[in-house]
Structures are given as structure tokens and as C-alpha cells.
Amino acid sequence: MGTCASAESAAAAAASKDIDKQLKAEMKAIEQNIKLLLLGAGETGKSTVLKQIKLIHGTGYSDEDRAAYKVTVLTNVITSVKTLLHAMDTLKIPFGFDPTSATIEETRDNPLPPPSPFLTVEKMDDGDAQYHTSYCEESEDDIGVGGGGGGGSSCNRQKKEAVEGQLQHKDDSVARAAASAYKILLESETLHTGPVAQAAEVVNTSAIGVIAGKLIPKEVADAISVIWKDIGVQYCFRRFLNDLCRICNESFVPTDQDILNSRIMTTTITETRFKIEGIIFRVFDVGGQRSERKKWAPYFDDINAIIYLVAINSYDQICFEDNSTNRTDYFPTYEGPNDYDNGSEYFATRFLSLNKYEKKIYVHFTWATDTKQIKTVLAIVNQIILRSNLVEAGL
């Protein structure tokens, strides 16, 4: 009997030892995994940051990846030119308008008509082939800072509190001259005549999508080239399609910068993994699942850190859900000059003031398409997380 009991005890001890060993292995695996949650309002560069991570710490982009992005870049070009043409009418800039000949005297009796409030065109990224309407995204856990990741719900809630709720227009003599020329051509029914207008018609009636393995049709590419060479279009957007010939060439293969500048709307939760010094980092982008936040939020209770992106370049844009109010109306307390240093410091202070639970918050200013800057920020984030883990472990 004693021998039997002894054998059973030994077996139980061995089983317990195996369980402990497995638990330790699992704990070690957990400790070697850092989970990051990537958040932010729409169009703040979340997907671009993930692309940067893949370039900096991943394997980069394969030939198959670049072939897929080629379709995206070409589609972006067509979509963007259509947006540009729409913006020309919105901003009341006629084709052929020469800003160098515009003077205040030419337009003294022609006040600048206000641009249509439903569209505010902003540049997404330097050299980007995509412009878009600026808007605040709907957000269930809105923190109430309009234009800085606050969200559309903030725009609506604060609508009554905003100062007048109207866009403020600068007394721009060149813009007044453009509007005057636009009005004259419109009244004479010659606004949409000429080679540039004909090229615009070709683009506007073309399909937006580009089939994989195909190029932009030659007649559309030629029309885009004609449009881009127009001096009025150049005034509307000073940097835009400078690489058009390269992109429309049959041998075009997207560069890393082309991929960073390309725009694909995120519609699913994505995970990007990379390894630094033996530690696996898992970055989750839930940008495409904003309306389902209550469903996915509980799955991220064990997140080590949150990277929250804010596009401060859209501080003076209008909100899509409240298209008569400029975001600057939500910051009546700001009395500083209209420059980067003072503006960025103001927004950083506003965000830090929302820290109710004394969480550690680190603010970094960067440019999503600048790989060197993003690499520096990621290195700092990595050091902060590792240092925090060492402190928690009592080391």
C-alpha cells in the first residue's frame, strides 16, 4: 500500500511540476509580448504609421504588395483629380487663372463669395496623391477636443456653444481676383469651355477604380496632365501631381514613399507584429470599427499602451457633421499667434489636462510620412514601455 501511495504522490508531483513549468512558459511568453492599441480620429494617419512600422521593423514590401499598391495609387490619382476639379468650383478658381496678375484693385468692387461650406480640402500628406473633405469622426468615447481627435459628436454637442458658428474668411486679394474672374466667366457661359474644361469632362466621366494589372487609360492620363498644367489648378493646389508621368508609366512600381502616401480606408481590425530586441510588439488598429467599439473594447483590457494620433493640421477645418462651424470656434480661449510652435503647445496642454486618472502621457509631434521622424518616435515609445515593465517587475 505504501509503495502504491508513494507512486501516486510522485506522479501527482510530476504533473504539478509540469503545470508550473507550462504556466511559467506562458507567463514568459506574455512578458515578451507588448500589445499596443492604435487609436485616433479619422484621417489622422493611423494606417500610415502601421506602414512605417512595417518598413522600419518588418520585412518591408514584397513585389506582390507593390503590385497591389499600384492599383491603389492609380485609383487615388483619379479620385483626387475629381476632388480637385470639384474644389476648383468650390473655391471659385477658374481654369487659366494667373495669381501673379491679381491685384486688390481688380476686385475692389467684387467681394469674395464664401466658399461652399460642405467641402474643405486639405492636404493629407506631403506629396500625397489624395485630398479629401475634412471632418470629425463620430466617437462614442469622445473626449471633447474638436479637431484634435474629439469627434463629430463633440462638434454637435458644442454647436450652440461655438462663437457664431461661421467660417472666417481672410481678405485675400488673390482669392478675390479669382472669384471675380470665375463670376465673369460663369455669367458669360464660358467657364466650362476650352481644352482644360474638356479634359475635366473626360476625368469626371471616367470610372474611379483601376483594375489590377491595368493602367489609367491613356485618354484619362492625358486629360489629367492637361488639367495639372493649368495655371489656375496650380494655384488651387501647389503640390499635388508632380510625379504624374512616372505614376502613369507602364513600368511604374510604387516606391516606399508612394505606398506611404497612398490612401486605403481601413474597414477591419488589423494587427501588425514586429520584434525589437527579442520582444514581440503587436499593434492593433481598430480604425475601421469605430461604430462597434463596445463589442471590441473588452478584448483589449491587457493592452500595455495606447498610441493616440491627432491631426493638428486640420485645426482650422470645418466638421463634416456641422458644416457651418469651423473647428477653431471650439477654442475661444486660444489667443496666441497662428503658428506651429504656439498651436502645437496649446493642443498638447489641452490633451494633458484631460488626464483624470494620472496616467503617464507622452506627447510627440511628428509627420506620418516621414520615416526618419516616425523611427525616432517608435524608438522612444519602445524605451518608455520597456522601462515601465522593468519598474512593474521591481527591477
Q: What is the CATH number of the domain that holds 374?
A: 3.40.50.300
289 known member of a binding site: yes
In a domain? residue 192: yes
Q: Which residues contact 169 (CB under 8 A, 6 or more apart)?
A: 112, 114, 115
- Is 111 found in the same domain as 144? yes
Q: Say whether 201 counts as a known binding-site residue.
A: no
The residues pairing with 283 across neighbouring beta strands, listed in sequence order, are 36, 272
Say if residue 352's pLDDT is above 70: yes
- Which domain-ending residue is among 237, 261, 285? 261
The verdict on whether residue 75 carries a ligand-binding annotation is no
Express as a percent the part of the chain with pLDDT over 90.
Answer: 3
262 annotated ligand binder = yes
In a domain, 3, yes or no: no
Distance CA 142, CA 229 (A): 43
pLDDT of residue 348: 92
Asked if residue 200 is part of any domain, the answer here is: yes
Specify the pLDDT at position 142. 29
Binned at pLDDT 50, 70 and 90, residue 368 comes out as confident
**How far is Cα 110 from Cα 287, in angstroms, rounded to an integer?**
45
Q: Is 145 annotated as a binding residue?
A: no
Provide the residue range defining the domain that includes 316. Answer: 26-61+266-392
Annotated binding residue 260: yes
Q: Which pLDDT tens digit goes with each residue over 44-80? A: 888 888 888 888 888 788 999 999 899 888 888 888 8
Give the ranges where the chain is alpha helix by DSSP (H).
2-31, 46-57, 63-90, 152-157, 173-187, 195-204, 218-229, 231-236, 244-248, 256-261, 293-296, 340-352, 371-392
**One domain, residues 156 and 186:** yes
Q: Contact at 8 Å (CB) between 35 and 282?
A: yes
Co-location of 288 and 152 in the same domain: no
pTM for the model: 0.61
Q: Do 239 and 124 contact (CB within 8 A), yes or no? A: no
22 labelled ligand-binding: no
Q: Distance (Å, rounded) from C-alpha 37 to C-alpha 284?
A: 5
Out of 68-77, 150-159, 191-200, 355-364, pick the least confident.
150-159
Q: If 0-12 CB within 10 Å is exposed, 13-18 middle and 19+ buried, where does residue 382 land?
A: middle
Percent of the chain with pLDDT over 70: 67
Q: Which of the pair, 12 or 116, is modelled with greater confidence?
A: 12
Let me know how long the chain is: 395
218-229 and 63-90 helices, crossing angle to 10°: 50
The closest of 127, 133, 134, 130 to 75, measured between CA atoms, is 130
| 320 and 334, same domain (yes or no) | yes
Helix (H) or strand (E) holding 272: strand 270-276
58 is in an annotated binding site: no
* Dihedral angle sign, alpha carbons of residues 268, 368, 382, 254: positive
**Of 286, 297, 281, 309, nearest to 385 (Cα)?**
281
Residue 11, amino acid: A
- Kindly state whether residues 215 and 81 are assigned to the same domain: yes
Note the pLDDT of residue 203: 85
Using an 8 Å Cβ cutoff, are 281 and 34 in contact?
yes
Q: Is position 72 within any domain?
A: yes
| DSSP assignment string, 64-106 | HHHHHHHHHHHHHHHHHHHHHHHHHHHTT--TT--GGG--TGG
Mean pLDDT of 13-23: 73
Is 108's pLDDT higher than 50? Answer: no
The C-alpha angle 164, 167, 170, rounded to 5 degrees, equals 125
In a domain, 13, yes or no: no
Tell me the average pLDDT of the chain. 71
Within-domain flag for 16: no
Q: Are residues 109 and 201 both part of a single domain?
A: yes
219 and 282 both lie in a single domain: no
Binding site annotation covers 373? no
> 219, 246, 261: which is the final residue of a domain?
261
Q: 48: annotated binding-site residue?
A: yes
Q: Is residue 17 part of a domain?
A: no
Question: Do 96 and 232 meet the contact criterion of CB atoms below 8 Å apart?
Answer: yes
Which range of 7-16, 189-198, 252-261, 352-361 scores highest in mean pLDDT? It is: 252-261
| CA–CA distance, 310 with 354 (Å, rounded to integer) | 15
Residue appearing with cell numbers 489648378: 233
Do 112 and 231 lie in a common domain?
A: yes
**Taking Cα atoms as reference points, which of 204, 241, 240 lies closest to residue 220?**
204
Is 250 annotated to bind ligand?
no
pLDDT tens-digit readout, 274-294: 887 778 888 888 765 556 566
SS3 318: strand
Task: Note the pLDDT of residue 213.
Answer: 62
Among 261, 287, 314, where does a domain finish?
A: 261
Q: Most distant CA pair in the chain: distance in Å?
A: 113
Looking at the structure, tell me whether residues 116 and 213 fall in a common domain: yes
Do both 279 and 145 map to the same domain?
Answer: no
**Backbone region of residue 277 per phi and psi (left: phi > 0; alpha: psi in -120 to 50; beta: other values):** left
- Give yes or no for residue 109 having a pLDDT over 70: no
* The residue type at 208: I
Give CA–CA dist 192/212, Å, rounded: 33
Q: Over 90: is that where the pLDDT of 254 sits?
A: yes
43 is in an annotated binding site: yes
Q: What is the pLDDT averaged over residues 209-220?
A: 73
- Cell numbers standing for residue 226: 492637361
190 is in an annotated binding site: no
Whether residues 45 and 74 share a domain: the answer is: no
Query: Does a structural domain hold residue 56?
Result: yes
Do 330 and 368 share a domain, yes or no?
Answer: yes
Q: How many domains does the chain have?
A: 2
Q: CATH code at 71?
A: 1.10.400.10
Does the annotation list 47 as a binding residue? yes
Q: Does the annotation list 339 as a binding residue?
A: no
In this structure, are residues 329 and 165 in contact, taking their beta carbons and an 8 Å threshold? yes
Residue 2 annotated in ligand binding:
no
